[in-house]
Amino acid sequence: MKDYSEIQCPSCQGKILIDPKLLIQGSSFSCSNQSCDVSISLSSASHQVAESAMKKFEQLKQNIN
Nearer to Zn ion, 20 or 40 (CB): 40
Rounded-to-integer distance, Cα 16 and Cα 64, Å: 22
CB of 40 to Zn ion, least distance (A): 10
Using CB under 5 A, which residues numbered 4 to 63 contact Zn ion?
Answer: 9, 11-12, 14, 31, 33, 36, 38
With H, G, I as helix, E, B as strand and everything else as coil, classify residue 30.
Answer: strand
Nearer to Zn ion, 11 or 59 (CB): 11
28: Cα within 13 Å, side-chain hemisphere: 11
Contact residues: Zn ion, CB under 5 A = 9, 11-12, 14, 31, 33, 36, 38
